Amino acid sequence: MPLYFAYGANMDAAAMALRCPVSRLIGSGRLPGYRFIIMREGYASVVRDPARTVWGVVWELASADIPALDRYEGVAGGLYTKAALPVRCPDGIRRALIYLGCSTAPGRPRPGYLDAVVAAAQAAQLPPRYLRELGSWSRGLPA
């Protein structure tokens, strides 16, 4: 079963249960060398930054769940693209599916979106410093 690294709305266990009912939460993970952004379309993405790390959660997916994620992430419409990147998982570094926003221009979160991301990050018990970083997007574009 492939691994999937979620750093935005798909960190939410209830939402993933609806989209990918066979998925199984593995635990928190991190993607070194990237930083979290809200892209101009109002959704989360990550961009390369050697000094930063993006935290999220790692899911084990059934292959049959991937088309549902592709639809949700707007792959066919060009909102996101897929990649396999090395992610630090509870059991070491593993390659995981990740959705990367096609836009790298920063923007503002859609109403309610960031609240859901931060709530999911809190539920996953991500580091407090990282939670503050996520929350800073609600006050404008972080440096």
Residues that constitute the known binding site for substrate: 113
Indicate the annotated binding residues.
113
Q: CA-to-CA distance for 86 and 62, rounded, in angstroms? A: 19
Token pair belonging to 142:
């972080």
- Please indicate whether residue 73 is annotated as part of the active site: yes
Of the listed 41, 60, 73, 133, which one is catalytic? Answer: 73
Q: How far is CA 93 from the centre of its chain?
A: 17
Just list the catalytic residues. Answer: 73
